[in-house]
Amino acid sequence: MKVALLFIAVLSFLVGKSNAQTPVSWAEAQKNKRATIVVHYFQSPMFSYSSNMKERPRGICVDLMENFAQYVKEKKGVELQIEYRGFDGFSKFYEATKNSPNGTFGIGSITITDARKKEVKFSPAFIQSANFLLTHSSVPTLRHMELIAKEFKGMTAYTAKNTTNAARLEAIKRQYMPEMNIQYLESSLEVLRAIAQDPKGFTYLDFVYYNNALKDNLPVKRHPVGDSASEQFGLIMPLTSDWSAIIEEFLSANGMNYCNSMQYKKSLNLHLGESAVKLLESLRQKN
């Protein structure tokens, strides 16, 4: 019986491996008029999310990729098949995408930075991000950033490894709060849960996580003195990718200008909600 179960497990593993698709270059896709692309994602509320890794993801970035496939079919006559692969946390997702073959994309709430541009290719930005200083709802409102060492004394900063929000907290530690204790977690969703449970915790998170907390009625509070709307999100590709030009064409004014399209606006309202879209717009105007 044990031998039979072992055989079934090995067979299932081999079948799963054989079903995995190999992505191809844009040059090969144009030649053959068809291609498989692999799209990596991590759990990012509203942008790329699923209830489990076997389920097809949803979100703003998934809609973008599906509309990209439609654009390529209509404008270039190339049929795209998309295989989505999920990852538990940002670090694993980023490393896997960076080291993957041509024809692989990474989607989610990925901030465009100069440091990352040395490791991966970015698409043009498809949305401007806002970042919020968050705590448990029981924490008194921080009056000024210069007072954070005093008013958040004894509190623990939670953050996800290798994210721009981790870098932001590390900068605050250097500038204002040298005694700050930083606890690194695997994902931003874990960070959100941590501050919802810990009255002595704080963090920086992208606006989508705050929006998610509001939707789920989590006891999370935003401290407006820490608001920042200086970041932009983009898709990523390995440095070897030749797909960047066609993605840029799709997103730019010279192509479909996706970010001004009805499909894009519908996607934002569907996944973010009208209140979050209005919040983003108000923060852009302030900055």
Residues 222 and 275 in one domain: no
Are 122 and 152 found together in one domain? no
Give the confidence band of 253 by pLDDT, cuts at 50, 70, 90.
low
Going from the C-alpha of 50 to that of each of 43, 59, 88, 92, the distances in angstroms are 7, 9, 11, 17
Cα gap 222→168, rounded to integer Å: 16
Q: Are 259 and 251 in contact (CB under 8 A)?
A: yes
Running DSSP on this structure, what letter comes out for residue 20? Answer: S
Locate 256 and state its tokens. 């479909």
DSSP structural state of residue 206: E
* Residues 118 and 29 both lie in one domain: yes
pLDDT score at 52: 79
pLDDT in tens, 49-62: 998 777 899 999 99
Asked which of 81-85, 128-132, 279-283 is least confident by mean pLDDT, the reply is 279-283
Residue 136: which pLDDT band, with cuts at 50, 70 and 90?
very high
Q: Residue 208: what pLDDT?
A: 86
Q: Using one digit for the tens of pLDDT, what is the confidence trace for 1-53?
A: 444 444 444 444 444 443 567 899 999 999 999 999 999 999 998 999 998 77
**54-58, 94-98, 247-251: which has the minimum mean pLDDT?**
54-58
Pairing of strands 181-185, 156-160: parallel
Amino acid identity of residue 37, one-letter, is: I
Domain housing 163? 130-230
CATH number of the domain residue 139 falls in: 3.40.190.10
Name the 3-class secondary structure at 120.
Answer: strand
Share of the chain above pLDDT 70, in %: 90
Closest CA to 202 of 164, 157, 170: 157
- Whether residue 5 lies inside any domain: the answer is no
- Please give the full DSSP string across 44-112, using - where no structure is assigned: BTTTBB-SSTTSPPBSHHHHHHHHHHHHHHHHH--EEEEEEEEESSHHHHHHHHHTSPTTEEEESS-B-
Does residue 250 fall inside a structural domain? yes
Q: pLDDT tier at 237 (50, 70, 90 boundaries)? A: very high
Share of the chain above pLDDT 90, in %: 72
pLDDT by residue (tens digit) across 146-156? Answer: 999 999 999 99
Last residue of a domain, one of 230, 249, 266: 230
> Do 238 and 273 have their domain in common?
yes
pTM for the predicted model, two decimal places:
0.80
Whole-number pLDDT of residue 231: 84
Confidence of residue 254 (pLDDT cuts 50, 70, 90): low
- Cα separation, 24 vs 40, in Å, equals 15
Rg (CA), the chain: 21
Shared domain for 99 and 135, answered yes or no, is: no
**Can you tell me the distance from the alpha carbon of 88 to that of 64, in angstroms, rounded to the nearest whole number?**
21
| 240 and 156, same domain (yes or no) | no
CB–CB of 237/244 below 8 Å?
A: yes
Instruction: Choose the final residue of a domain: 210, 230, 250.
Output: 230
CA torsion through residues 157, 57, 39, 267, sign: negative
Could you give the CA distance from residue 118 to residue 113 in angstroms, rounded to a whole number?
9
Q: What average pLDDT does the segment 160-189 reach? A: 94
The whole-number average pLDDT for the span 80-106 is 95
Quick: pLDDT tens for 201-225. Answer: 999 999 889 988 988 999 999 999 9
pLDDT score, position 8? 43
What pLDDT score does 6 carry?
A: 44
Number of domains in the chain: 2
